[in-house]
Amino acid sequence: MQNAEESIRIERAVKSQAPLILNFIRQLAEYERLLDKVEADVGRIEATLFGEKPAAEVVIAYLGQEAAGFALFFSTYSTFLARPGIYLEDLFVESKFRGKGVGKALLVHLAKLTRERGGGRLEWSVLDWNEPAIEFYKRLGATAQDAWTMYRVTGENLQKLAETL
């Protein structure tokens, strides 16, 4: 049982935490073997997450007084449900805090937030090789959406598409 000093709390991130958020992003990218794909920097995080029109929201999980992990998410909309939802872009818990309920606390927080906002779905993606995460999500009642294939357009292809008449 955790004592009061080790209790988990979730707080909305603030602009001054942009370096912490970048650190979590880099650790996640390293875990996912995608560190070479990270272009984010503190300035871009400050502008896109804490500027005039934030593109997403971030919450930080603390175990005791230490920042243990984060979740970055944004609003979605389901036409079939005619309800909003939340898409979890990234969830990361530092390795020394794994197995202590931090990841579950972040997902519970997002589930509550989804419901408070009248949402019908909390969704996310997971790399197909990440068995520990897949098993964790299944234990929480999540189901894989195997009938759907995600597509992405980035970089030069995004530029070409945007310039298509």
For the annotated catalytic residues, the residue numbers are 137
Instruction: Name which of 151, 87, 152, 99 is nearest 125 in CA terms.
Output: 87
Q: DSSP labels for 48-116?
A: HHHSSS-S-EEEEEEETTEEEEEEEEEEEEETTTTEEEEEEEEEEE-GGGTTTTHHHHHHHHHHHHHHH
- Residues in the chain, total: 165
